[in-house]
Structure 1
């Protein structure tokens, strides 16, 4: 990986959550990530506002965009997402960088940790 800014897309999912709860979960994850040395964490926005309307793009429910300055911070962000999920049951977060997706769940397991380690190794080789 180069030392260019890295853009991560994070998508929170919970089949049982209503839109308000999903929005609250996403805001909680955003607060958690902002406690790290990230450049920014903002809601993901679409480029398509409804026809005939003025104003900003629409916010994608359950989705965030984080930017970090160094590849070394990627492991910290993934660890923070994993820790945030641990107390949140069956929820999941998909982390995507350059089309490479890692899905994290609140279930701790050695297999999930192996997936995380492999994903981070793959990212480090780019």
Structure 2
């Protein structure tokens, strides 16, 4: 029996426009495919009350299997930060187990410290 792959949940938050959110999500998915990820999927679950959802998918959510490679999570965080900086708006919530961090399009020192602490908690 193989051990469970660590899953990272990404929740993209770019505003109230569902069409723009979908376009942003597709852009992010295209960039994520360039990483060496074990799996990338949109979860098939109902959106919670008050959250936009279409066809059983919670809009803006992706599940990423990061495998056992210790460098995958830092590479994922770096890609997300770069993607957000280029967009200059929005945020991505990154959930790994019970731990969560919100990345934004700006990169102040405080956010860098938060990212470093998050990565340290999840390094091998």
TM-score bracket for the superposition, by shorter chain length: 0.7 to 0.9
| Structure 2 unmatched ranges of 5 or more | 48-54
2:67 aligns with 69
Residue 21 (1) aligns with residue 14 (2): no
Q: Verify the 8 A CA contact 1:34 1:40 in the aligned structure 2.
A: no
* Deviation of 1:121 (Å): 0.6
TM-score (norm 1): 0.82
Aligned residues: 114
* Deviation of 1:88 (Å): 1.4
TM-score (norm 2): 0.83
Alpha-carbon distance in 1 for matches of 2:109, 2:46:
39
Q: What RMSD in Å do the two structures reach over aligned CA positions?
A: 1.9
Higher CA-based Rg: 1
- Deviation track 1:46-88 (CA, whole Å, cap 9, x = no partner) reads 068xxxxxxxx71110110111112321100011011111011
